[in-house]
Amino acid sequence: MKEEVVKIKKTNKLRLFALIAAGVVLLLFGACRVFYGYAVKPVSDRSFMIYIDKNTSDTDLYASLENHIGRGELLRLKRLMKIKKCNPAKNPGAYKIDSAMSVYAVYKMLAGGLQTPVKFTFNNIRTVEQFAQKAGEQLMFSQEELLALLSDTERLSALGFTKETLPALFIPDTYEFYWTVSPERFIDRMKKEYDRFWNDLRRKKAEKISLTPVEVATLASIVEEETNDSEELSIVAGLYLNRLKRGILLQADPTVKFAAGDFEMRRILLAHLQIDSPYNTYKYVGLPPGPIRIPSKRGIDAVLNYTKHDYLYMCAKEDFSGRHNFAKTLAEHNRNAERYHAALSARKIFK
């Protein structure tokens, strides 16, 4: 009898142990599943960007996330935000959600405002307005906010620029910013990049040709409007430096187009040459008040490393290749010009 009681007790203990073990296993399985769902499983099979501005609500943010991550992952993120009493849209910025990130990693990024730097790229831009539009498209502030700042003459003066010389401030390249950068901090960064570009070597080269950095940028802007051919840039730069040294009118067609407000003009007429503007280098000796476009690094370096020669004249080639015929004498230039104008007339290009 006693042996049967002992056997029953042992059996009950084994069953209890088995039940406890099963419960532990289930708990561990559940914990592992929760851990996997929150801390391991990727939220998406591809990386994507999320943008939160000052007007974005948590509803807007979740709606945006829903386009990229699964329903289960979204529910887990909402649950985690609720548990942590966190408003996911409280930190404006640009956030890159990597394909390997878990729900918890996304939560940490959004809750901590751990922004991803964005690349701001600009090149081949003529006007400050176009530059502001480009910045407004790639960063959180608007074009209007940046233009308002750039119309502040006191601030421009503190930076060492005027409305006319302002295009020289911007050095085309790719820069990293936080998407939420303010217009003020943005311009401060542009000034730092300007100072970095204009190092001692470039400043010494500018001094050697008796030009300031802004004047170099102004000449570079004319040179780049004259030719897109990389082989001609330094030649054209040398030609205009020859004219500047001799006190000869630059007579640069791009400055006339700038004065007329029409860069699409294909034929310069006598009436255009009479436009009374300090930018019209057919009327006023020397460089115009400022750049007629935002010059590139390549254009600036072409001026600083100009080709030495005796050319004083240039005219677009009659084959419309975009290249030029260069001349040392007016007589030679006139012959080149006659061929070009004849080609224009043959193509019925009269304006």
- Of 63, 78, 112, the position where a domain reaches its end is 112
pLDDT (tens place) for every residue of the chain, 351 residues total: 555 555 555 565 656 565 565 555 555 544 455 555 565 577 888 999 999 998 999 899 999 998 888 888 889 889 988 888 888 888 999 999 998 888 889 999 999 999 999 999 999 999 999 999 999 999 999 999 999 999 999 999 999 999 999 999 999 999 999 999 999 999 999 999 999 999 999 999 999 999 999 999 999 999 999 998 999 999 999 999 999 999 999 999 999 999 998 888 877 878 888 899 999 999 999 999 999 999 999 999 999 999 999 999 998 888 887 789 999 999 999 898 888 888 888 776 655
Is residue 90 located within the same domain as residue 63? yes
pTM: 0.84
Spatial separation of the C-alpha atoms in residues 210 and 233, rounded to whole Å: 19
Is residue 209 located within the same domain as residue 296? yes
Is residue 293 located within the same domain as residue 335? yes
Is residue 236 located within the same domain as residue 251? yes
The residue range of the domain holding 85 is: 48-112
Asked whether 328 and 262 are in contact (CB, 8 A), the reply is no
pLDDT given at position 346 = 79
56 in a domain, yes or no?
yes
What's the pLDDT tens digit per position in 188-224?
999 999 999 999 999 999 999 999 999 999 999 999 9
pLDDT given at position 307 = 96
Is residue 291 located within the same domain as residue 187? no
Is residue 168 located within the same domain as residue 241? no
19 in a domain, yes or no?
no
Is residue 140 located within the same domain as residue 217? no
264 in a domain, yes or no?
yes
Is residue 147 located within the same domain as residue 108? no
pLDDT given at position 343 = 83
Spatial separation of the C-alpha atoms in residues 241 and 312, rounded to whole Å: 9
pLDDT given at position 30 = 46
Is residue 158 located within the same domain as residue 172? yes
Three-state DSSP class for residue 204? helix
Half-sphere exposure of 70 (CA within 13 A, CB side): 13
pLDDT given at position 14 = 59
- Of 96, 112, 128, the position where a domain reaches its end is 112
Number of structural domains (the chain) is 3
175 in a domain, yes or no?
yes
Is residue 108 located within the same domain as residue 123? no
Burial degree of 258 (CB within 10 A; 0-12, 13-18, 19+): buried
23 in a domain, yes or no?
no
Is residue 204 located within the same domain as residue 339? yes
327 in a domain, yes or no?
yes
Helices (H), the chain: 2-35, 58-66, 71-83, 103-112, 128-138, 143-150, 153-159, 183-197, 200-208, 213-226, 230-246, 253-260, 270-273, 297-304, 330-346
- Of 181, 197, 213, the position where a domain reaches its end is 197
5 in a domain, yes or no?
no
Phi, psi angles (nearest 5°) of residue 184? -65, -50
Neighbours of 332 (CB within 10 A): 16
21 in a domain, yes or no?
no
Is residue 124 located within the same domain as residue 80? no
What type of residue sits at position 286?
A: G
